[in-house]
A and B are shown apart, each in its own frame.
Chain A
Amino acid sequence: MKGKGNFIERQGFRSALASIIAIAIGMVAGLIILLISNPAKALPGFVAIATGGLSNMKYMGQVLYYATPIIMTGLSVAFAKKTGLFNIGASGQYMMGAFAAVYVGVKFTGVPAGLHCLLAILAAAVVGAVWGSVPGILKAYCNINEVIACIMMNYIGMSTCNLCVQQLIFDRKKNQSLQPVASAILPKLGFDKIFVDGGAPSSVNAGFVIAVLLGILVWVILEKTKLGFELKACGYNRDASKYGGINDKKNILLAMVISGSLAGIGGALYYLSGAGSGIPVQEVVAAEGFNGIPVALLGMSNPIAVIFTGTFMAYLTQGGLSMQSYGFPTQIVDIMSSVIIYFSAFALFFSQTIEKLYKRSKAKRAAAAQTGKGGDGK
């Protein structure tokens, strides 16, 4: 009975199955909403959101492009979660990271191409880490709830970012930041040749590859290293970690620093894409930060799963854009994707249900086998 064992007994299979069921139910619920909103176009609209991300090569590329920043913020939230912290401050870290990257991208002209964009990413990581370290210090040394500190750091980050963009790298005509110079733009890695539709390439670039590699790196850190062992131990039981000689305060701070730098890199990867969008000056906390929360939760804080859930969320975003061409208002599109996402959160529930049902049927079979045997004996 060793080795692979029964298919259903394997954790990975069960989680995947549960996620698929959850998403399917979410889809059905979404379809009902579309039927209520506009029965005539419900079906084509539904097909659009469900398949929009796959309808042509360019859109597939766009899915990966949209996925890049939310994979990063998802990793940020997931990493903190593994350490027992709720980093709801990914937005602030993301925005500050974006600013740092764009600032380096705009101002540090004359740096060789490859180095320039690495430098910009590094700056984003450092600034994101600083932003994450504030709630980390408060949590570790003053026991101040990191959720409150993180939320406040989001607003401080938003305003600081706006102020800095306006003062230092402002494009007055577009009310957004200037574009990074060409040497700071992430290389395309040939993606612009693959993900093309009718001559128009998608915006996907090396950023997606970096996000995936960082996801794998985070997984390795958490699962294979001494650092991960300590961080997770602190997350599960701070007292026992302390008893075991682990410096709990240092680890909490470190977790927030790493978490913050991941979110910061997310900001860099999005705004160094060369897709033409600058950091907008607006009084709104960046949605990419908050989207990291469902991405992490759907992935059950597993960094590898986060790569997939981030891509899934981006797929819905792209599908939503396709759906708009059928005349659905953006609100309906948003409701639809929200419904699908929150049904996806039932994945854990389904996973447990599958396990329970499986165990029950197994127990029944075992009981049947036993009475059968008993009958033979008599």
Chain B
Amino acid sequence: MSEYIIEMCNITKEFPGIIANDDITLQLKKGEIHALLGENGAGKSTLMSVLFGLYQPEKGVIKKNGEVVKVRDPNDANALGIGMVHQHFKLVHNFTVLQNIVLGMETTRHGFLRMDEARKKVVSLSEQYGLRVDPDALIEDITVGMQQRVEILKMLYRDNEILIFDEPTAVLTPQEIEELMKIMKGLAAEGKSILFITHKLNEIKQVADRCTVLRKGKYIGTIDVSNVSKEEMSEMMVGRKVALKVDKTPAEPTDVIFETQGLTVINKEHGKKVVDGVSLKVRRGEIVCVAGIDGNGQTELVQAITGLIKADSGSVILNGEDVTHSTIRYKNTHGMGHIPEDRHKHGLVLDYPLAYNLVLQSYFEPEYCTHGFLKYDEIFSYGDSLIEKYDIRSGQGGKTIARSMSGGNQQKAIVAREIDRGPELLIAVQPTRGLDVGAIEYIHRQLVAERDNGKGILLVSLELDEVMSLADRILVIYEGQIVGELDPAEVTAQELGLYMAGSKRKAVSAQ
């Protein structure tokens, strides 16, 4: 019998215009945790879709236990024992845990459900692998970490041998990540084979045995994780040396550029305070980071500051001026920049050309507009200058429709626009979400450069690594309140995690 439980040999998959997978070989040993590392667009998803039968490769074969198999569709994949936890869970929210697990393969007798047997199996599986869940809880009532366990149980319930995890840690808190790592190790120890798709090097170091690296659709190599440093791995992934740690000097903050006083937002539907009396200050020359788990009021806080929603009470002070009730246009033109959380909803008019998007807040200024007529030549030449300065890649320069650009370049366009407007306060919400190491490094550098230029930066991030490496001060938000002010030089990621989960808090000084 072969050493490998699943092999993908010399897979080539082409799409019109690009080769998504170019002669890629991936071999998964039984009982190992095998990481698949690559930037966005490196071909990880395509490769997994081939394994799952969603795409048919032009060249190459898939082998199970050394024998060539055909995977025509996901049912074939399931029959071969391949299961997957998708990045966005596929769960029915108003069903219970148990109902979700058996969904699609219910045990029935005479057309009636027989849940008792299913329950027994689920309970024994969850004990065997240490996946504690309440089988009768509704999905909508349990945490994201719990939901992920349900997804894992779904695979185990189907007796899958090969488990694919697609960026499983993106949505978890540090404690939950820790537990997931334990669970993954436990699964491997029980003989399951795991494919772990990620671009986080720490996690690979922590759990993976081997790692296959892809870059721009090509196979770069397979390495033993224990012999290779993180720096080397990132170099394999990006193709050049990358600074993993943000290079920055200690902050030298000066006067306060921005503050909020008792800012409160009440949700119209359930009447709860989603932002609860938030008072914070940002000084020139510092990066203040609001850290927290998704859904603790960050979105509403930023929208209330920028004016996208109305605050119910409290005030917003920019450069000594109360702008609580000012229009968005006024804030835009008086020193507030905003890299929004949702680049498609707020950041870009996707059907507008790139150049138009780059003047979205300044098209009316005399440089671009006279007597109500737009000066297209100026708009496009400004667009071209930003495209060059910030290395925004697009098919047809300023004329490219924003929708057709890659996510990373869309984000770069927004960052370029907001920084180039020269705001005194830059609010950056998850500025690197979904981006790969190269682009993250770039955006981080820009933010630090702005700080060093004497601008104030208010960063909102869900990524612990980003918080720890960028922030000069950390404010932790939990259920709409600031529950702690921490110094990144002193606090550990673990402790920060406790604050974020609401199990620890301390009085916040006015500063």
B122 to chain A, nearest CB (A): 42
Segment of A23-31, A223-231, A297-305, A338-346 in the binding face: A223-231
Chain A residues within 8 Å of B360, by CB: 233, 240, 243-244
The interface residues of chain A, by DSSP majority, are classed as helix
CA distance A10 to B376 in the complex (A): 20
State whether the Cβ of B248 lies closer than 8 Å to any Cβ in chain A. Answer: no
* Those of B102-151 within 8 Å (CB) of chain A: none
* Those of B309-337 within 8 Å (CB) of chain A: 327-333
State whether the Cβ of A41 lies closer than 8 Å to any Cβ in chain B. Answer: no
Chain B residues within 8 Å of A246, by CB: 329
CA distance A315 to B156 in the complex (A): 69
Q: Is B329 a contact partner of A245 (Cβ separation < 8 A)? A: yes
* Those of B337-391 within 8 Å (CB) of chain A: 338, 340, 345-352, 356, 360-361, 363-364, 369, 372-374, 376
A205 to chain B, nearest CB (A): 31
Chain B residues within 8 Å of A236, by CB: 349-352
State whether the Cβ of A174 lies closer than 8 Å to any Cβ in chain B. Answer: no
From known contacts A245-B328, A363-B16, infer whether A226 and B348 are also in contact, taking CB-CB under 8 Å: no
CA distance A245 to B418 in the complex (A): 13
State whether the Cβ of A37 lies closer than 8 Å to any Cβ in chain B. Answer: no
CA distance A229 to B376 in the complex (A): 11
From known contacts A226-B363, A226-B372, infer whether A239 and B351 are also in contact, taking CB-CB under 8 Å: no
Q: Is B308 a contact partner of A242 (Cβ separation < 8 A)? A: yes
From known contacts A224-B374, A227-B372, A229-B356, infer whether A241 and B332 are also in contact, taking CB-CB under 8 Å: no
Q: Is A226 a contact partner of B374 (Cβ separation < 8 A)? A: yes
Interface size class of A (residues with CB under 8 A): 20 to 34
What residue in chain B is nearest A221 (Cβ atoms)? B372
Interface size class of B (residues with CB under 8 A): 20 to 34
Q: Is A245 a contact partner of B347 (Cβ separation < 8 A)? A: no
What residue in chain A is nearest B332 (Cβ atoms)? A245
From known contacts A245-B332, A363-B16, infer whether A240 and B345 are also in contact, taking CB-CB under 8 Å: yes
What residue in chain B is nearest A363 (Cβ atoms)? B16
CA distance A84 to B56 in the complex (A): 40
From known contacts A224-B374, A225-B374, A229-B356, infer whether A240 and B346 are also in contact, taking CB-CB under 8 Å: yes
What residue in chain A is nearest B347 (Cβ atoms)? A240
Q: Is B369 a contact partner of A226 (Cβ separation < 8 A)? A: yes
Chain B residues within 8 Å of A359, by CB: 16
State whether the Cβ of A237 lies closer than 8 Å to any Cβ in chain B. Answer: yes
- List the interface of chain B (C-beta within 8 A of A): 16-17, 306, 308, 327-333, 338, 340, 345-352, 356, 360-361, 363-364, 369, 372-374, 376
Between A and B, 15 residue pairs with Cβ closer than 8 Å are A229-B356, A236-B350, A237-B348, A241-B349, A243-B306, A243-B346, A243-B347, A244-B332, A244-B360, A244-B361, A245-B331, A245-B333, A359-B16, A363-B16, A363-B17
